[in-house]
A and B are shown apart, each in its own frame.
Chain A
Amino acid sequence: MADILRISEVSVRFGGIQALDHVSLSVAPGEAVGLVGPNGAGKTTLFDCISGRRRPSGGSVTFDGRSIDGVPGYKRARLGIGRTFQRLEVFPELTVREHIIVAERAHRGVGALWRDLLNLSRVRPEEQERVDAILDLVGLDHLADVPVAALGLGTCRLVELGRALACEPKLLLADEPSSGLDHNETDSLAMVLRVVQRERAMAVLLVEHDLQMVAKSVDRIVVLDIGKVIAEGRFDEVLAQPGVREAYLGAGA
């Protein structure tokens, strides 16, 4: 089967820093791939290039069989690329439920102004059901009506995840979803990711420092260091490679 995501030779430069240096990787439909590497390796920058937040200076990104270079971010989201952010990008004044509703409606394209003006924008029962299902999935049903500003970091990560899932992405980019969560929460998050990925056949690209969580959640990992892919393959095999250990222990520990 054709890859859902194919990145070839993508490069990004910030002044003197080569954040991404001819990075290539691909993800098959329904596959979970871990993207690991020390701080500053360029993982978030790569996510930004895939989700359209940043334009790479070279290389190209293909999604679902078509090139998406030059496609603006919101259109990529509509094509089926969802993401969460390492640096939270929640909507502080909206409640958890409203986050999901916003995502749900953006995804279904029912945001036309005339509907508002005719007062047709109330939450309908079937919409309510879908929203509740998502809330249930990420375990936030008891917090549904709390403004996100009042929630802690870990909970906000779950909100971002739920919001991304409500858009039913074909590919989910999760940027350090477990940072700020405690051990049990991390476990259940890994579970949720695994379940959704299997049930919906959603591809996942997971950036994570918690290697245990990575081990539980992915089929394969790619190691990035100083903007370059230095290894990829099965989790235990890759971590056994000396270059990888060095990059990790040298910079990370």
Chain B
Amino acid sequence: MSTLLGYVLPGIPYGCDFALMAVGLVITFRTTGVFNLAFGAQAFGAAFVFDLLVRSEGLPVWAAFVLSVLLLSPAVGLVLDRFLFSRIATTNMTAKIVSSVGLLIAIPQLLPILFGGSPRENPPSLWLDQAHVEFRLFGTAVNGSEVSTTVITLGAVAALLLFLRLSPAGLEMRAVVESRRLAQLQGIDSGKVAASAWALSSVMAGLAGVLLLPLSNVLNPTNPLQFTGLLVAGLTAAALARMRSIGVAFGAAIGLGVAQEVLELYFPNGALHTASVNAFPFIVLVGTLVGSKSLRSLGFRADPMAGVDPPPPPPSVSIRDPRLDVPMKWGFRALIVAFVVSGLTWVPGYWVTPLDAGLVYSTIFLSVTLITGASGQLSLCQASFAGVGAFAAGQLAAHFGLPVLLGAVVGGLMAAVLGAVLALLAARISGLILTLLTLAFALMADTFLFQYSWSGGSGTGVSVPRPVMGSIDFTSNRAFLVLALVVLLLCILLVALVQRGTTGRFLAAMRGSEPGAASLGINLLRARVTVFAMSAGIAGVGGAMFGSLYSPVSADSFVYEISLAFVVVVITTGSRRIEGAVQAGMSFAIIQFLFTYAPSRFQGLTPILFAFGALNYAQHPEGMVEYQKSRWMMRVSRLLARVDGRRGTAPTALAAGAAGNGMAGGVVGGSAPNGAPGLAGSPVGLSSGVVSPRG
């Protein structure tokens, strides 16, 4: 009994910490419809600043607390609301998730760059000393930080509940939860309510971060993984509460904290320990996501007045003058030839590796093009699929002597099966939950699936040899360039065929409107499983190439942050078109390479550069780079039209301008809700030739 209690009691403070996170997630989701994954990063940020103020600046603990948790955290929340989430309030779930993923990447990377970062032992405690035993409960020592975490959490949650029940602002908040539109009709400023929800939940997240410090004993700025655990537990508790009840979320979080410690008691060490203790939160999370009926329809906004919302801005459709088609086609071919010839001849040796990497990244990024660009689904585990491919190729080569290229194919197939299973698991589930499921899988892969000698090769990693085909040896980086290009071109062919074919059209339909697609008899589940499997397969093959390039590779090469970075990079450059993946791959590799010349603390900047691009996803789902490109295209088209006009052969205007029922000038999308001029600013294009949405 007392041994059991000895595990139950230490679980409670962890549970309290999870609870703060869960409560924050529930509040923002209910009032604003945003599932803010960035709370994990915000918690880390607050903890980082708190630690910095106390130890580097020598501030008293209370002052650091006021600054980091009570001032900085809500300020961050308000800024996020004001400049990001309030602007995308009526867009779809994917846009909101992409934005929060962008933040989840950017914040933890940015802080160490700003303030320098080395792991710090024994971070400060907010209140009471963790080394000091306060009292004994049934023989179990309870230390200071455990007491303080529990007491402070209980106080914070109680204050929050009182606020929601009693204060006028709290009542307004609860009205907005029922129906944002209805509340507005009753004169409630839902923008103000959203802002206070953001501020409140950000305080909760910040508090969770600061309280976690003494519990976990080390703050490692370059590896905020401990905050990932916090995020997972918070997610799970929020999911268990069906994203609804603060009380249930609180109880579930405590239960999780306790259960995790009790598992330690029954599986103190060995393989079962890693399997059970590490897998436990994920099993609960996946079980809840898949099993809960009321979570299924979560993506569809339950606001009965949602019909009043304006439709989201249509993505700008890039319009290319048909006269540009031929030069572009030949230009593209010339570019490839020039690339190969240069890579094989004059490019200095140390530049060949980044080029290799660019091609390999492009291959992996094509999987994002397929899944996010073509079908509008968001997968946050593409790097894990890549890992499956790499480890499969390496292990098969080591144990069965399978040629690497064959191993890559097998690895791709294995990843495809995994992808299909994930999509099937999520059969009856809305897009948001499927996305969370992929995140859970990614976290699961790096916390334990890849940690075994038979998978990620624990410790030393897995070596993936360079392919040798008969007399052709791809061991040198220059030779590998050719191989990587061939693999990339094959994958491009595959994606192009799918995009242009019926499947691609069905996927585009599904991306546009799921109810609309279903009303035509399109089997959404089949489409989703197909696209997940193909995308995972491509990621797997790309991963095997990655492994072969950088052999040996370990679980560290495929951690979940890399999955997030992949998605963000591709979305920024343009996920709709194949060339977007290639641009993303090449620029990602090259920028990363260029940063090796910069001081080491700037290493993390590459994903940040792209993360800020992803914040624009709501306005420009076609990608920032793609958007800029289409603007340039338009200018060229106009120039051509003017030249033609002088020659007296003005192209006939397409009827579109005259067509729109009341919509002047055939405006093609891209107008941001906040009035930023998109393509709409120039009602051109339609009059300058053929309109091709996916030219």
Is B89 interfacial (CB 8 A cutoff)?
A: no
Give every chain B residue within 8 A of A88 (Cβ-Cβ): 311
Q: Mark A85-108, 1 if CB is under 8 A from B, else 0.
A: 111111111110011011101110
| Contact (A149, B508) CB under 8 Å given A53-B515, A142-B655 | no
* Closest beta carbon of chain A to B92's beta carbon, Å: 11
Residue from A73, A142, A147, A149 in contact with B518 in the complex, judged by beta carbons closer than 8 Å: A73
| Contact (A143, B655) CB under 8 Å given A111-B506, A151-B660 | yes
Q: Mark A176-202, 1 if CB is under 8 A from B, else 0.
A: 000011100100000000000000000
Q: Mark B298-315, 1 if CB is under 8 A from A, else 0.
A: 000000100100010011
Is B600 interfacial (CB 8 A cutoff)?
A: no
Counting contact residues on chain B (CB < 8 A from A), the size range is 35 or more
Is B470 interfacial (CB 8 A cutoff)?
A: no
Of chain A, the residue at the smallest CB distance from B515 is A89
* Closest beta carbon of chain A to B272's beta carbon, Å: 41
Q: Mark A53-87, 1 if CB is under 8 A from B, else 0.
A: 10000000000000000001111011000110111
Give every chain A residue within 8 A of B515 (Cβ-Cβ): 53, 73, 85, 89
Bound complex: CA A91 to CA B508 (Å): 7
Judging by beta carbons under 8 Å apart, are B667 and A91 in contact?
Answer: no
Is B691 interfacial (CB 8 A cutoff)?
A: yes
Of chain B, the residue at the smallest CB distance from A14 is B304
Judging by beta carbons under 8 Å apart, are B509 and A91 in contact?
Answer: yes
Q: Which of B510-532 contact A (CB under 8 A)?
A: 511-513, 515-524, 530
Bound complex: CA A145 to CA B689 (Å): 11
Is B237 interfacial (CB 8 A cutoff)?
A: no
Bound complex: CA A130 to CA B311 (Å): 31
Give every chain B residue within 8 A of A213 (Cβ-Cβ): none
Is A203 interfacial (CB 8 A cutoff)?
A: no
Q: Which of B455-472 contact A (CB under 8 A)?
A: none
Judging by beta carbons under 8 Å apart, are A53 and B518 in contact?
Answer: yes
| Contact (A113, B520) CB under 8 Å given A146-B656, A150-B667, A152-B663 | no
* Closest beta carbon of chain A to B457's beta carbon, Å: 34
Of chain B, the residue at the smallest CB distance from A40 is B304
Bound complex: CA A154 to CA B660 (Å): 8
Residue from A72, A116, A153 in contact with B501 in the complex, judged by beta carbons closer than 8 Å: A116
Task: Report the interface size for chain A: residues with CB under 8 A from the other chain.
Answer: 60
Judging by beta carbons under 8 Å apart, are A91 and B518 in contact?
Answer: no
* Closest beta carbon of chain A to B193's beta carbon, Å: 21
Q: Mark B305-338, 1 if CB is under 8 A from A, else 0.
A: 0010001001101000000000000000000000
Judging by beta carbons under 8 Å apart, are A149 and B506 in contact?
Answer: no
Judging by beta carbons under 8 Å apart, are B498 and A74 in contact?
Answer: no
Bound complex: CA A53 to CA B515 (Å): 7
Residue from B498, B520, B659, B693 in contact with A77 in the complex, judged by beta carbons closer than 8 Å: B520
Q: Which of A100-132 contact B (CB under 8 A)?
A: 101-103, 105-107, 110-113, 115-117, 119, 121
Is A51 interfacial (CB 8 A cutoff)?
A: yes
Judging by beta carbons under 8 Å apart, are A115 and B502 in contact?
Answer: yes
Judging by beta carbons under 8 Å apart, are A116 and B497 in contact?
Answer: yes
| Contact (A94, B509) CB under 8 Å given A77-B520, A116-B501, A146-B656 | yes
Bound complex: CA A13 to CA B498 (Å): 42
Give every chain A residue within 8 A of B519 (Cβ-Cβ): 51, 73, 77, 82-83, 85, 89, 164
Residue from B304, B315, B520, B524 in contact with A149 in the complex, judged by beta carbons closer than 8 Å: B315
Bound complex: CA A219 to CA B504 (Å): 41
Q: Mark A133-156, 1 if CB is under 8 A from B, else 0.
A: 000000000110111011111110
Q: Mark B372-395, 1 if CB is under 8 A from A, else 0.
A: 000000000000000000000000
* Closest beta carbon of chain A to B627's beta carbon, Å: 14
Bound complex: CA A51 to CA B425 (Å): 25
Bound complex: CA A111 to CA B656 (Å): 30
Give every chain A residue within 8 A of B506 (Cβ-Cβ): 102, 105-106, 111
Give every chain B residue within 8 A of A99 (Cβ-Cβ): 509
Of chain B, the residue at the smallest CB distance from A86 is B307
Residue from A103, A119, A147 in contact with B520 in the complex, judged by beta carbons closer than 8 Å: A103
Give every chain B residue within 8 A of A102 (Cβ-Cβ): 505-506, 508-509, 517, 520, 522
Is A12 interfacial (CB 8 A cutoff)?
A: no
Give every chain A residue within 8 A of B691 (Cβ-Cβ): 95, 145-147, 150
Of chain B, the residue at the smallest CB distance from A96 is B659
| Contact (A93, B508) CB under 8 Å given A74-B522, A116-B501 | yes
Is B648 interfacial (CB 8 A cutoff)?
A: no
Bound complex: CA A61 to CA B504 (Å): 33
Is A163 interfacial (CB 8 A cutoff)?
A: yes
Is A35 interfacial (CB 8 A cutoff)?
A: no
Of chain A, the residue at the smallest CB distance from B690 is A145
| Contact (A101, B505) CB under 8 Å given A92-B512, A93-B315, A149-B314 | yes
Give every chain B residue within 8 A of A115 (Cβ-Cβ): 501-502
Judging by beta carbons under 8 Å apart, are A74 and B524 in contact?
Answer: yes
Judging by beta carbons under 8 Å apart, are A117 and B661 in contact?
Answer: no
Give every chain A residue within 8 A of B690 (Cβ-Cβ): 145
Residue from B505, B530, B654, B669 in contact with A94 in the complex, judged by beta carbons closer than 8 Å: B505
Give every chain B residue within 8 A of A23 (Cβ-Cβ): none
Judging by beta carbons under 8 Å apart, are A180 and B661 in contact?
Answer: yes
Is A10 interfacial (CB 8 A cutoff)?
A: no
Is B666 interfacial (CB 8 A cutoff)?
A: yes
Give every chain B residue within 8 A of A72 (Cβ-Cβ): 518
Judging by beta carbons under 8 Å apart, are B500 and A121 in contact?
Answer: yes
Residue from B307, B505, B521, B686 in contact with A78 in the complex, judged by beta carbons closer than 8 Å: B521
Bound complex: CA A112 to CA B497 (Å): 12
Give every chain A residue within 8 A of B661 (Cβ-Cβ): 151-155, 180-182, 185
Give every chain B residue within 8 A of A95 (Cβ-Cβ): 691, 693
Judging by beta carbons under 8 Å apart, are A152 and B494 in contact?
Answer: no
Give every chain A residue within 8 A of B694 (Cβ-Cβ): 93
Give every chain B residue within 8 A of A87 (Cβ-Cβ): 307
> Among A105, A113, A167, which residue has the most Cβ atoms of chain B within 10 A?
A113
Residue from A51, A94, A119, A163 in contact with B508 in the complex, judged by beta carbons closer than 8 Å: A94
Q: Which of B175-208 contact A (CB under 8 A)?
A: none
Judging by beta carbons under 8 Å apart, are A93 and B521 in contact?
Answer: no
Judging by beta carbons under 8 Å apart, are A110 and B520 in contact?
Answer: no
Is B270 interfacial (CB 8 A cutoff)?
A: no
Bound complex: CA A95 to CA B506 (Å): 13
Give every chain B residue within 8 A of A105 (Cβ-Cβ): 502, 505-506
Give every chain A residue within 8 A of B524 (Cβ-Cβ): 74
Q: Which of B619-670 contact A (CB under 8 A)?
A: 654-656, 659-663, 666-669
Give every chain B residue within 8 A of A74 (Cβ-Cβ): 517-518, 520-524
Bound complex: CA A185 to CA B660 (Å): 13
* Closest beta carbon of chain A to B413's beta carbon, Å: 15
Q: Mark B662-695, 1 if CB is under 8 A from A, else 0.
A: 1100111100000000000000001000110110
Is B503 interfacial (CB 8 A cutoff)?
A: yes
Judging by beta carbons under 8 Å apart, are A93 and B512 in contact?
Answer: yes
Bound complex: CA A114 to CA B511 (Å): 21
Give every chain B residue within 8 A of A83 (Cβ-Cβ): 519
Residue from B311, B498, B520 in contact with A107 in the complex, judged by beta carbons closer than 8 Å: B520
Of chain B, the residue at the smallest CB distance from A120 is B501
Give every chain B residue within 8 A of A110 (Cβ-Cβ): 502
* Closest beta carbon of chain A to B501's beta carbon, Å: 3
Bound complex: CA A149 to CA B655 (Å): 15
Of chain B, the residue at the smallest CB distance from A144 is B655
> Among A73, A99, A115, which residue has the most Cβ atoms of chain B within 10 A?
A73
Judging by beta carbons under 8 Å apart, are A94 and B693 in contact?
Answer: yes
Give every chain A residue within 8 A of B521 (Cβ-Cβ): 74-75, 77-78, 106-107, 167
Judging by beta carbons under 8 Å apart, are B668 and A149 in contact?
Answer: yes
Bound complex: CA A75 to CA B520 (Å): 9
| Contact (A149, B317) CB under 8 Å given A94-B508, A94-B512, A142-B655 | yes
- Between-chain CB contacts (< 8 Å), 15 pairs: A74-B520, A82-B519, A91-B511, A91-B513, A94-B505, A102-B508, A106-B517, A106-B522, A142-B655, A143-B655, A149-B315, A150-B660, A152-B659, A164-B519, A180-B661
Q: A75-B521, A98-B693 given; name 12 further pairs at CB < 8 Å.
A: A74-B518, A77-B521, A85-B515, A92-B314, A107-B521, A115-B501, A147-B668, A149-B314, A149-B317, A149-B669, A150-B669, A163-B520
